[in-house]
């Protein structure tokens, strides 16, 4: 009997659920799970959480305390369902503040440990700004694993690897969105997808230079993008696309594979001026990074407003 594509994918890539939906996680049995402010907002708004949300709002010292309490409670429930990592994001409001990111990340880890979830199970998600990467470098030195998100450019990927972060989440679909908006008639299917090409370049560079940082493709618009990256270290996938993969019994060939002759020297790391210039030269990455931070903050503000109303 032919295996479905999800089963085939799990044989070559670590499948991660991009959701806060506990039922979806139970169904698809991923190794890891990722969350972000948008997914936490969706999970927090479920009717069965309403009473608990009100209790959190009334008893927490301030909105930041309430936000982190919600995120860690949901993350702890997810941690009970997956054997690997759970990613929890530091507020996007702190994307340009290294020290504040460090403080908030440490607080999140403390909260998880009080819930009985060890730091070895948590990936602290930080936006891949220069300040976020510097915070991640210090957190890794402290034994706190990090997931650098909102990653759209090779310069961001290079700086993250130089910093020794545990994992990066290069976005595929949002890169495609940018290019489609400018070239609506272009053929971006399969290997022509600019988001796929971006992740492939990063993956091949990491493997060629012997970097240990894990590449986890994220933000998929269709199963074709996932299939084009089969074999990547990890892929974080929404329940809707997991459903499509599970329903398809067609063949799924490996598209990415580690190199046998990785080099041992990665060259000089990017300094701040080089990083900022390279990012500035990449219009797509500059625009999508800024937009991504704004969108995450928009959903965080919605949750803040909901919690503030419940405090009254």
Q: Given the residues 5, 125, 207, 234, select the one marked as catalytic.
A: 125
Whether the CB-CB separation of 241 and 16 falls below 8 Å is answered with no
Contact 98, 63 (CB under 8 A): no
Q: Work out the number of other CB atoms within 10 angstroms of the CB of residue 141.
A: 10
The alpha helices in the chain, defined as continuous H runs, are 5-10, 22-28, 37-44, 50-59, 63-79, 98-114, 130-141, 154-163, 173-182, 194-209, 223-228, 239-246, 272-281, 283-311
d(CA 119, CA 217): 23
Nearest to 130 by CA among 269, 280, 278, 276: 276
Taken as a whole, the chain contains a residue count of: 312
Question: Does residue 125 have an active-site annotation?
Answer: yes
Q: Which residues are catalytic?
A: 125
């Amino acid at each position: 009997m032919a295996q479905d594509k999800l089963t085939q994918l799990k044989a070559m890539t670590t499948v991660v659920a991009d959701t806060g939906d506990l039922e979806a996680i139970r169904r698809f049995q991923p190794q890891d799970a990722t969350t972000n402010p948008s997914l936490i907002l969706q999970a927090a708004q479920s009717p069965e959480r309403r009473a608990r949300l009100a209790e959190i709002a009334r008893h927490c010292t301030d909105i930041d305390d309430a936000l982190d309490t919600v995120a860690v409670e949901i993350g702890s429930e997810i941690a009970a369902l997956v054997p690997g990592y759970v990613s929890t994001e530091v507020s996007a409001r702190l994307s340009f503040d290294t020290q504040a990111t460090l403080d908030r990340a440490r607080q999140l880890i403390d909260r998880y440990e009080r819930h009985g979830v060890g730091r070895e199970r948590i990936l602290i998600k930080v936006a891949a700004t220069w300040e976020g990467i510097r915070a991640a470098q210090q957190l890794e030195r402290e034994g706190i694993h990090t997931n650098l998100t909102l990653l759209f450019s090779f310069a961001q990927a290079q700086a993250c690897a130089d910093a020794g972060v545990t994992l990066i989440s290069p976005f595929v679909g949002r890169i495609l969105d940018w290019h489609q908006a400018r070239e609506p008639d272009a053929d971006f299917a399969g290997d022509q997808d600019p988001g796929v090409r971006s992740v492939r370049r990063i993956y091949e560079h990491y493997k060629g230079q012997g970097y240990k940082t894990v590449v986890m493709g994220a933000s998929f618009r269709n199963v074709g993008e996932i299939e084009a990256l089969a074999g990547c270290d990890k892929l974080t996938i929404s329940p809707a696309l997991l459903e499509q993969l599970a329903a398809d019994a067609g063949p799924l060939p490996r598209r990415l594979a580690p190199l046998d002759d990785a080099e041992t020297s990665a060259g000089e790391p990017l300094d701040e001026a080089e990083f900022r210039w390279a990012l500035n030269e990449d219009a797509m990455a500059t625009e999508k990074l800024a937009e991504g931070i704004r969108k995450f903050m928009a959903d965080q503000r919605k949750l803040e407003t909901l919690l503030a109303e419940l405090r009254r």
